[in-house]
């Protein structure tokens, strides 16, 4: 052996070989998922973006027209109104769901009687099928048999025989579908945040209490920083689910009245499938992508807080 040379112990060589094999093993396990993502997610997305640049219709092949569909949509009042309502619908519903869900999570994290039963009750809106929920809310907000109208009559706010057209008035219909979405989305946020709260060590709260921290200070400086990564993920999924909420809107109002509750997802279906203009429908669907990417980027930056939690640098 030459002077100064070093021979790696056999154990080190075997360990390196084992690690390399594990890396390749992990890669081969990922291949089926990669194939699934490419053929069932990436390829349809690319095909839809291509279709949005054609004048394709159902039963007839289209020719390439560039950005004409997008230029037409910029002058389409229905599309602009649907985009505005989609953003408002997503913002209002997501904020309220987060506030109520966080409150329920903190409440259920404390010692209280029948806690397991209450947790099961909270989950009911999430496990009920979306269409069934929509039908139930359609009945609740029905003009003749609305529970809310009946309560207002009983409490004296409305005269007997006087009704409120909840789903016939544009503004009330928008409020109704937002309320239904909030009801369905609260359990997901509450249960997920509750799981995150249960990972926070009680000793941190005890130390903060001994230092004289109030309830708000314990939440501000202990609970919130440790929940930040979970909040980022939860809010991202909440925004994505709300932004693309097709089933609830279509089953309750079909975008009416006078397109007041039309989301970009329902308008895309209406124009592309029911109207037969596949190119225009694909353009509306593609226009949703930048908003969804923005939500994902917010989550990605929020997840960087994990480095701070692990004592690493954010550089």
What secondary structure does DSSP assign to 106-169, as a single string?
HHHHS--TTHHHHHHHHHHHHHS-HHHHHHHHHHHT-TTT-HHHHHHHHTTSS-TT----TTTS
Q: What is the pTM of this model?
A: 0.82
Mean pLDDT of 53-66: 88
For residue 296, what pLDDT is reported?
Answer: 82
Q: Which residue has the higher pLDDT, 261 or 27?
A: 261
Q: Would you say how long the chain is, in residues? A: 315
Query: pLDDT tens across 156-182, in order?
Result: 777 777 788 888 899 999 999 999 999
For residue 18, what pLDDT is reported?
Answer: 56
Are 262 and 85 a contacting pair, CB within 8 Å? Answer: yes
| Model confidence band, residue 155 (pLDDT cutoffs 50, 70, 90) | confident
For residue 16, what pLDDT is reported?
Answer: 64
For residue 232, what pLDDT is reported?
Answer: 86
H helices present in the chain, as ranges: 10-37, 43-51, 68-74, 77-109, 115-127, 130-140, 147-154, 170-197, 202-210, 215-218, 224-243, 246-252, 264-269, 278-287, 289-303, 305-309
Query: pLDDT tens across 22-32, in order?
Result: 777 777 888 88
For residue 1, what pLDDT is reported?
Answer: 46
Three-state secondary-structure class, residue 57: strand
CATH number, domain 45-308: 1.10.3720.10
For residue 286, what pLDDT is reported?
Answer: 94
Residue 3 scores a pLDDT above 60: no
| Model confidence band, residue 15 (pLDDT cutoffs 50, 70, 90) | low
For residue 12, what pLDDT is reported?
Answer: 56
Q: Which residue has the higher pLDDT, 41 or 55?
A: 55
Query: pLDDT tens across 105-151, in order?
Result: 988 888 777 777 877 888 888 888 888 888 888 888 876 777 878 88
d(CA 72, CA 74) in angstroms, rounded, equals: 5
| Model confidence band, residue 266 (pLDDT cutoffs 50, 70, 90) | very high
Three-state secondary-structure class, residue 8: coil
Mean pLDDT of 171-195: 93
Burial label, 11 (beta-carbon count in 10 A; 0-12, 13-18, 19+) = exposed
**Poorest-pLDDT segment among 130-139, 260-269, 302-311:** 302-311
Mean pLDDT of 28-54: 88
For residue 315, what pLDDT is reported?
Answer: 47
């Amino acid at each position: 052996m030459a002077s100064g040379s070093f021979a790696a112990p056999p154990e080190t060589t075997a360990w390196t070989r084992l690690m390399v094999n594990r890396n390749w093993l992990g890669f081969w396990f990922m291949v089926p998922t990669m194939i699934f993502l490419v053929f069932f997610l990436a390829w349809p997305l690319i095909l839809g973006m291509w279709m949005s640049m054609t004048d394709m219709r159902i039963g007839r092949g289209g020719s390439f027209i560039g950005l004409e569909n997008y230029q037409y949509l910029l002058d389409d009042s229905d599309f602009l109104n649907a985009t505005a309502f989609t953003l408002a619908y997503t913002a209002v519903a997501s904020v309220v769901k987060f506030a109520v869900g966080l409150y329920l999570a903190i409440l259920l994290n404390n010692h209280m009687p029948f806690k397991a039963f209450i947790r099961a009750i909270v989950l009911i809106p999430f496990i009920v099928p979306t269409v069934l929920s929509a039908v139930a809310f359609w009945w609740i907000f029905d003009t003749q048999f609305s529970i809310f109208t009946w309560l207002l009559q009983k409490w004296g706010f409305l005269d007997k025989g006087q009704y409120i057209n909840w789903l016939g008035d544009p503004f009330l219909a928008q409020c109704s579908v937002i309320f239904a979405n909030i009801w369905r989305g609260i359990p997901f946020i509450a249960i997920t945040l509750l799981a995150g709260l249960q990972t926070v060590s009680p000793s941190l709260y005890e130390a903060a209490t001994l230092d004289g921290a109030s309830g708000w200070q314990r939440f501000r400086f202990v609970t919130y920083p440790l929940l930040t990564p979970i909040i980022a993920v939860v809010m991202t999924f909440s925004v994505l689910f709300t932004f693309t909420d097709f089933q609830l809107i279509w089953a309750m109002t079909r975008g009416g009245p006078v397109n007041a509750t039309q989301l970009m997802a329902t308008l895309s279906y209406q124009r592309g499938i029911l109207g037969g203009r596949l190119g225009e429908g694909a353009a509306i669907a593609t226009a949703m992508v930048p908003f969804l990417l923005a939500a994902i980027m917010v989550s990605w930056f929020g997840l960087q807080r994990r480095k701070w939690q692990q004592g690493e640098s954010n550089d």
